[in-house]
């Protein structure tokens, strides 16, 4: 098994892949090579704590340190001689490096707010089966490749899976990592992400968003986009408009929002049946053609009924058969019965 560790610092961000038998020395050597730092500290976890590898002999296997590093995101910081270190954490399981920046202004949050609202409690909701899961739309680009609608699993983590697809690649399941990254972003700036913005206390929100059944929306996109230094464009199927997060970056990615579900858009040289491993998901921000084709795919999806109006759509409880109207009705039913499995009727 390969140990995959995300690292970031003043040098940028990268991924270190190590063998299962890798030692402390193997990891620190890789970090020195990437960062050009002779002395550094590592932080990980939520909230970020010192990852103290100095107390281990360099020949100790990483698997024997008690730190669960596979899939972690580690912050690398230059160590000063007089630097005071924070208490270390031993045996943590969730981690993400704190982002260098988070939401810049309230206008971005306001313009994005109509994309999705977050219920007080997680509301698992499954969309109706549709033909696009088996036959996704695709439009040809001028270079002969195709922009393809990539459908994400319907598991309440679709936003994180769509962003993971675009930012981490098809072969990486970054759902847990990205949720933790969001929690780090909130914790890093509770002045911006306060109880009014989050509709709950920041600490409660940080716990809530790491629940795999909690939906993500504008707040999560903003934090992840700014952490990766990329623009995220969301095609909202309600009116086929594009809502932008973290504008002004050199590269951007495209998501599709159906009202209850998030998917990704990708270019593939072999068309919609091309292997996802060769998908291109990050595009030059000045490429107008990609934006136009993204809107075209959005129109096709909307015309085919892929959009769901969460205020008025018919919803069914998959546990007791109750049928009601809209997300609010489902939340009321969930609160009164404890049932947490819903789908479009």
The count of other CB atoms within 10 Å of the CB of residue 139 is 16
- For 16, the enclosing helix (H) or strand (E) is strand 12-19
The DSSP secondary-structure symbol of 252 reads: E
Q: SS3 for 28?
A: helix
Tell me whether residue 333 is one of the annotated catalytic residues: no
Residue in 20, 64, 135, 155 annotated catalytic: 155
- Using 70 as the pLDDT threshold, list the residues of the chain that sit under it: 1, 13, 45-48, 80-134, 171, 310-313, 344-345
C-alpha–C-alpha distance, residues 2 and 5, integer Å: 10
The count of other CB atoms within 10 Å of the CB of residue 240 is 18
Phi, psi of 7 (to 5 degrees): -130, 145
Tokens of 341: 């499995």
Give the pLDDT score at 146: 96
Stretch(es) of the chain classified as CATH 3.90.70.80: 106-303
Write the CB contacts of 75 (distance below 8 Å, at least 6 apart in sequence). 7, 8, 9, 42, 43, 44, 48, 97, 98
2-78 topology per CATH: Ubiquitin-like (UB roll) (3.10.20)
Task: Check: CB of residue 315 under 8 Å from CB of residue 302.
Answer: no
Residue in 52, 189, 339, 341 annotated catalytic: 339
DSSP letter for each residue of 130-158: -GGGTS--EEE-TTS-EEEEEPPPSSS-H
- Give buried/exposed letters for 78-97 (b at 16+ CB in 10 A, else e): eeeeeeeeeebbeebebbbb
Instruction: Tell whether the torsion through CA atoms of 22, 24, 27 and 29 is positive or negative.
Output: negative
Give the pLDDT score at 108: 41
The count of other CB atoms within 10 Å of the CB of residue 247 is 13
Residue in 149, 261, 317, 333 annotated catalytic: 261
Tell me whether residue 287 is one of the annotated catalytic residues: no
Residue at token pair 């990539």? 150
Give the pLDDT score at 221: 95
Q: Which CATH number fits domain 106-303: 3.90.70.80, 3.60.21.10, 3.40.50.1370, 3.40.50.150?
A: 3.90.70.80
Q: At what angle do helices 218-228 and 175-188 cross, to 10 degrees?
A: 90
**Residue of 21, 86, 17, 11 lying closest to 51 (CA atoms):** 86
Give the pLDDT score at 160: 96
Tell me whether residue 149 is one of the annotated catalytic residues: no
Stretch(es) of the chain classified as CATH 3.10.20.90: 2-78
Tell me whether residue 158 is one of the annotated catalytic residues: yes
Give the pLDDT score at 299: 96
Give the pLDDT score at 80: 67
Give the pLDDT score at 206: 94
Residue in 158, 233, 240, 317 annotated catalytic: 158
């Amino acid at each position: 098994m390969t140990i995959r560790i995300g690292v970031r610092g003043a040098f940028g961000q990268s991924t270190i892949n190590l063998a299962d038998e890798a030692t402390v020395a193997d990891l620190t050597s890789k970090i020195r090579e990437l960062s050009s730092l002779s002395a550094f500290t590592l932080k990980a976890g939520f909230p970020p704590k010192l990852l103290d590898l100095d107390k281990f002999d360099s020949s100790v296997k990483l698997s024997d340190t008690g730190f669960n590093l596979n899939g972690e995101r580690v912050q690398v910081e230059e160590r000063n001689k007089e630097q005071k270190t924070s208490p270390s954490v031993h045996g943590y399981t969730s981690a993400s490096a704190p982002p260098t920046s988070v939401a810049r202004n309230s206008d971005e949050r306001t313009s994005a707010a109509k994309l999705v609202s977050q219920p007080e409690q997680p509301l698992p909701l499954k969309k109706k089966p549709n033909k696009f899961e088996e036959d996704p739309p695709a439009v040809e680009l001028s270079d002969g490749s195709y922009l393809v609608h990539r459908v994400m699993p319907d598991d309440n983590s679709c936003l994180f899976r769509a962003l993971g697809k675009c930012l981490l690649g098809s072969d990486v399941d970054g759902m847990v990592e990205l949720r933790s990254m969001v929690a780090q972003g909130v914790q890093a700036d509770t002045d911006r992400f306060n109880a009014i913005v989050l509709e709950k206390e920041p600490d409660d929100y940080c716990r809530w968003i790491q629940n795999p059944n909690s939906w993500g929306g504008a707040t999560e996109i903003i934090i992840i986009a700014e952490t990766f230094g990329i623009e995220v464009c969301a095609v909202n199927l309600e009116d086929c408009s594009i809502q932008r997060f973290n504008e002004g970056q050199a590269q951007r990615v495209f998501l599709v929002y159906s009202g209850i579900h998030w998917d990704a858009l990708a270019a593939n040289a072999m068309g919609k049946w091309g292997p996802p491993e060769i998908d291109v998901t990050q595009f030059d921000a000045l490429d107008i053609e990609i934006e136009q084709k993204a809107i075209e795919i959005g129109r096709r999806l909307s015309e085919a009924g892929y959009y769901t109006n969460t205020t008025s759509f018919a919803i069914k409880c998959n546990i007791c058969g109750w049928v009601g109207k809209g997300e609010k009705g489902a939340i009321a039913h969930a609160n009164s019965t404890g049932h947490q499995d819903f789908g479009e009727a």
